[in-house]
Amino acid sequence: MSIEAIYSASDDIDLTDEELARIEDTGDSIQVALSEPLTFTASKLDGERTLEVLTLPKKVKGKHLKALDKAEGEMGKSMALVAKLANIPPHACDEMDGRDIVLCLEAMKPFLPRPPRTGRR
């Protein structure tokens, strides 16, 4: 699994205009308003956190992409990337609405490396 799967994960789902309106470009980052608040505990030492908006950096770095190597399965890799970009623990994505995950991936597409082309060049 690689960047191609990230691109195809959101290609198969038609997002509504209302969903796309939840994406806001703030200059250095993209904010995605979640359809329902995300509540999680980062670690046993931390208290519970609730987020209504995820902030994703436009500048995708190698450390973000390396998160793909640690996850299994196409959806697992997509969720690992969203978690790393949003600076939330990977297990927090387990509680996200599926369409919110796809919306985050769609919002980040312009800032991800392009997948390699197949066929003749």
Q: Side by side, which strands form the sheet with 29-41?
A: 23-25, 29-41, 48-57
pTM over cut 0.85 = no
Given CA atoms 27, 87, 5, 66 in this order, what sign does their dihedral have? positive
Angle at CA of residue 55, ends 21 and 88, nearest 5°: 130
> Helix, strand or coil for residue 17?
helix
Query: 114 vs 102, which has greater pLDDT?
Result: 102
Q: Poorest-confidence range of 41-45, 51-55, 96-100, 102-106? A: 41-45
Per-residue pLDDT, averaged over 90-96, amounts to 94
Q: How many domains does the chain have?
A: 1
Per-residue pLDDT, averaged over 84-108, amounts to 94
pLDDT of residue 4: 60
Query: 103 vs 10, which has greater pLDDT?
Result: 103
pLDDT of residue 39: 95
Domain hosting 20: range is 3-111
Whether residue 30 has pLDDT greater than 90: yes
Residue at 119 is within a domain: no
Per-residue pLDDT, averaged over 78-102, amounts to 94
Q: How big is the chain by its Cα radius of gyration, in Å?
A: 14
Query: 64 vs 46, which has greater pLDDT?
Result: 64
